[in-house]
């Protein structure tokens, strides 16, 4: 194992000058500290030190479910100590650079470069420069080719890992799919690595034998003379041609943290969480998560109720949230909801409902959950017109939306939020105008209510983001609209929703463009990410720190066209940089879904009919019911 030096702490005079100093201190409720075991020699074998890195600041990272799961899972092992590492905010980062203070873990204040394994979770593309910044602050070479046996093993997992190529020059190995089982296998294998006698390359070669592990340095991209991607060439015959994702088959048997850390300072989603299931049966054609997390696998009601009780008892939280891609599709939601509502009422705990599907809207559940307070309700119709909803396979009728609004207003909810996308494939101007028209119809529903139900004025929030084509979706072949088109669509909405009762929110076009060329990028984009970081970019997911000109300049430096990666329509036979990463859904199925979108044809959800997407190979969850 690596040698460990004396722990470092931030000077008190620095902590007194930075915003929210508690985010750098640790010592939270349920934090796990194994330092005494190490200090007093109570270990039979050396402890594996694992630094779990979230490439954003504390208040964002501590809200992440992956962190909660991995942290407690690894610390349940007697031979492993997992600690948390976050990016410092701007004020602390300035002090660290000035005083040459390295990036350290919250639990022990150990510098990042003294860990055995450093793992990053990849949740969104704009965090990629932050990864380089954290490695640099932790005194770890940013390039995997520059690391020696003295450096930690750098790994990454998460939803964005299904196109890992933009980070291929920086990460030693990627974990594809569910990490609960795979992480343990990697740590077990790590313990067999004798750094004094076995090279880093030799050990990484052994890692490729684990299903779900991708080591990018053993593959080399090839391009056609015109610069278009051709294929990934293997440099060793023993590495896999296709890296197949790992799937946890039985969620009831897999680990779930019921004693998560309770932060000492406010975070974005400051509540206890239950994960009901993984996957989604709906098949929205723009949604990457709906494809890569297949098949649907549920936890049983009895286990979820038991976990909920343990969570509230161990944390003292006053709010319990339900977490899944589409919580309204949980098969036993009514039964679970009744159990949880009774328990939460006894404990004076609020039950927080997530974004709801309009066609699975449960007034009884919503009404009971909101007895103590009438918070806002959120829906995601995604498109304003029925034509466009059919194209994206969002099987929601306008009548569903208006009926949901009527029920909500009648029940005392006056604040409703609706999410839409602009720039979806096959969108036209009428589709854009349909968004404010739909908003006005919702307001009319309120106006038509009897006067006794109109006690508070309605407040609608209309939020739009720009469509970004993602790997392993039916729309991975599609073009992305350019900035001028984004601005025009936004202008239409601004001019047509100038009402006091409508609050219009939008995502910035320039950041959407950058996210677009990273999402479908190849290894050439890695140089751009590095250049942006060298030019001062790091927390690029934050609007106040994002700088489009930096990205544009970096693309120009390497003679790369933004339009080539974003607005270019791909052909059906084009090879993609991520073709060697398998999420279980076949490219053939995705193309058939693209053709259905082109003709506006709906695909029934997985619970109604198996469409042979490829996930049947895992023979678990919902797919297991289609075996015959």
For the chain, percent of residues with pLDDT exceeding 90: 81
Other CB atoms within 10 A of residue 329 CB: 21
- For CA atoms 377, 381, 382, 384, the dihedral sign is negative
More confident residue, 41 or 506: 506
What confidence tier does 296 reach under pLDDT thresholds 50, 70, 90?
very high
Segment 554-577, tens digit of pLDDT:
999 999 999 999 999 999 999 999
* pLDDT band, residue 4 (cuts 50/70/90): very low
The 10s digit of each residue's pLDDT in 83-93 is: 999 999 999 99
Average pLDDT on 173-198 reads: 96
Task: Please write the tens of the pLDDT for every residue from 434-448.
Answer: 999 999 999 999 999
Angle at 359 between CA 357 and CA 360, to 5 degrees: 65
- Sketch the domain layout of the chain as residue ranges: 12-244, 272-507+585-615
Tens of pLDDT, residues 106-144: 999 999 999 999 999 999 999 999 999 999 999 999 999
pLDDT tens, 308-343?
999 999 999 999 988 898 888 899 988 998 899 889
Grade residue 306 by pLDDT with cuts at 50, 70 and 90: very high
- Judged by phi (left if over 0) then psi (alpha if -120 to 50, else beta), residue 66 lies in alpha
CATH no. of 272-507+585-615: 3.80.30.20
Segment (H or E) for 418: strand 415-422
What is d(CA 306, CA 312) in angstroms, rounded to the nearest whole number? 10
Judge whether residue 6 has pLDDT over 50. Answer: no
Distance CA 79, CA 71 (A): 14
DSSP 531-598: HHHHTT---TTSTTT--HHHHHHHHHHTT--HHHHTTPPPPTT---TTTTEE-SS-HHHHHHHHHHHH
Let me know if domain 12-244 sits in CATH 3.40.50.2000: no
Match 């040459």 to its residue by tokens.
Answer: 100
Q: At what angle do helices 301-315 and 333-347 cross, to 10 degrees?
A: 20
Asked whether residue 452 carries a pLDDT value surpassing 70, the answer given is yes
Residue 184: DSSP 8-state: H
Each as own residue / partner, the long-range contacts of residues 195-201 (CB below 8 Å, 24 or more positions apart, any chain) are 195/149, 195/150, 196/149, 199/149, 200/147, 200/148, 200/149, 200/172
CA-CA-CA-CA torsion sign (224, 230, 232, 237): negative
Q: Is the pLDDT of residue 394 over 80?
A: yes
HEC readout, 209-229:
CCCCEECHHHEEEEECCCCCE
**Topology alike, domains 12-244 and 272-507+585-615:** no
Residue 262: per-residue pLDDT: 96
Prediction pTM value: 0.94
Q: What local confidence, expressed as pLDDT, does residue 627 receive?
A: 58
pLDDT surpassing 50 at residue 610: yes
Q: What is the DSSP letter of 465?
A: E
- Contact criterion met (CB below 8 Å) for 327 and 333: yes
Length, in residues, of the chain: 628
Which of the four pLDDT bands, split at 50, 70 and 90, describes residue 400? confident
Asked if the model's pLDDT at residue 359 lies above 60, the reply is no
**Chain-wide mean pLDDT for the chain?**
92
- The predicted-structure confidence for 513-531, as pLDDT tens digits, reads as follows 999 999 999 999 999 999 9
Residue 270 tokens read as 């400051």
Residue 358: pLDDT band (50, 70, 90) is low
Q: Which of 224-238, 243-257, 330-344, 480-494 shows the lowest mean pLDDT across its residues? A: 330-344
Tokens 């939803």 sit at which residue? Answer: 159
**What integer is the mean pLDDT of 418-434?**
97
CA nearest to 94, candidates 143, 142, 133:
133
Q: Select the more confidently predicted residue: 379 or 157.
A: 157
Q: b vs e for 568-597, b when ≥16 Cβ sit within 10 Å of the residue's Cβ? A: bebeeeeebbbbbbbbbbeeebbebbbebb
At 585 the pLDDT is 97
> Do the Cβ atoms of 281 and 311 come closer than 8 Å?
no
Omega cis (within 30) before 295? yes
Q: Distances in Å between the alpha carbon of 317 and those of 211, 258, 260, 401, 421?
A: 38, 12, 11, 33, 34
Q: For 30-67, how does the pLDDT look when each residue is reduced to its tens digit (9 = 90+)?
A: 999 998 887 656 666 679 999 999 999 999 999 999 99
Predicted local confidence at residue 328, as pLDDT = 83
If pLDDT is split at 50, 70 and 90, which confidence band does 190 have?
Answer: very high
């Amino acid at each position: 194992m690596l040698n460990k030096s004396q722990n470092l702490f931030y000077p008190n005079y620095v902590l007194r000058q930075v915003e929210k100093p508690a985010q750098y201190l640790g010592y939270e409720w349920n934090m796990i500290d194994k330092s005494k075991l190490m200090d007093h020699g109570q270990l039979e074998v050396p402890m594996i030190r694992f630094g779990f890195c979230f490439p954003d600041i504390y208040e964002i990272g501590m809200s992440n479910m992956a962190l909660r799961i991995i942290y407690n899972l690894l610390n349940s092992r007697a031979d492993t100590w997992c600690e948390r590492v976050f990016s410092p905010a701007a004020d602390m980062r300035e002090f660290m650079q000035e005083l040459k203070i390295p990036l350290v873990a919250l639990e022990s204040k150990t510098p990042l470069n003294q860990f055995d394994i450093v793992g990053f979770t990849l949740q969104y593309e704009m965090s990629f420069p932050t990864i380089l910044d954290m490695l640099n602050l932790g005194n770890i070479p940013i390039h995997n080719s520059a690391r020696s046996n003295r450096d930690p093993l750098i790994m990454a997992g998460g939803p964005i890992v299904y196109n890992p190529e933009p980070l291929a020059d920086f990460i030693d190995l990627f974990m594809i799919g569910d990490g609960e089982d795979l992480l343990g296998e990697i740590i077990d294998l790590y313990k067999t690595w004798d750094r004094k006698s076995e090279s880093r390359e030799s050990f990484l070669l052994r890692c490729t034998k684990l299903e779900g592990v991708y080591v990018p340095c053993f593959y080399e991209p090839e391009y056609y003379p015109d610069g278009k991607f051709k294929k990934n060439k293997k440099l060793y015959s023993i590495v896999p041609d296709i890296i197949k994702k790992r799937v946890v088959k039985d969620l009831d048997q897999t680990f779930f943290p019921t004693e998560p850390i309770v932060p000492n300072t406010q975070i974005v989603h400051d509540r206890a969480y239950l994960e009901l299931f993984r996957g989604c049966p709906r098949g929205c054609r723009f949604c990457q998560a709906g494809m890569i997390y297949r098949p649907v696998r549920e936890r049983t009601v009895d286990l979820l109720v038991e976990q909920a009780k343990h969570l509230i008892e161990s944390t003292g939280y006053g709010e319990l949230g339900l977490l899944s891609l589409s919580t309204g599709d949980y098969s036993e939601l009514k039964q679970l909801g009744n159990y949880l509502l009774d328990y939460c009422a006894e404990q004076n705990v609020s039950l927080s409902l997530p974004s709801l599907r309009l066609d699975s809207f449960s007034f009884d559940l919503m009404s009971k959950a909101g007895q103590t307070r009438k918070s806002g309700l959120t829906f995601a119709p995604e498109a304003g017109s029925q034509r466009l909803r059919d194209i994206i396979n969002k099987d929601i009728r306008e009548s569903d939306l208006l009926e949901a609004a009527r029920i909500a207003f009648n029940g005392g909810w006056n604040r409703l939020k609706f999410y839409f996308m602009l720039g979806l494939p096959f969108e036209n101007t009428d589709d854009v105008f349909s968004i404010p028209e739909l908003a006005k119809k919702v307001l009319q529903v309120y106006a038509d209510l009897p006067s006794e139900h109109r006690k508070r004025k309605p407040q609608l929030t209309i939020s739009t983001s720009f469509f970004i084509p993602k790997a392993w979706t039916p729309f991975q072949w599609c073009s992305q609209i350019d900035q001028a088109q984004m601005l025009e669509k936004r202008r239409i909405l601004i001019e047509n929703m100038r009402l006091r009762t409508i609050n219009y929110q939008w995502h910035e076009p320039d950041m959407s463009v950058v996210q677009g060329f990273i999402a479908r990028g190849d290894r050439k984009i890695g140089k751009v990410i590095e250049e942006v970081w060298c030019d001062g970019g790091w927390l690029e997911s934050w609007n106040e720190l994002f700088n489009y000109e930096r990205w544009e300049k970096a693309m120009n430096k390497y003679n790369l066209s933004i339009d080539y990666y974003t607005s270019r329509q791909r052909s059906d036979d084009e090879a993609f940089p991520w073709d060697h990463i398998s999420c279980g859904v076949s490219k053939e199925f995705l193309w058939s879904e693209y053709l259905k979108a082109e003709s506006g044809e709906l695909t029934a959800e997985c619970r109604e009919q198996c469409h042979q997407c490829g996930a049947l190979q895992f023979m678990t969850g919902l797919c297991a019911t289609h075996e015959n």
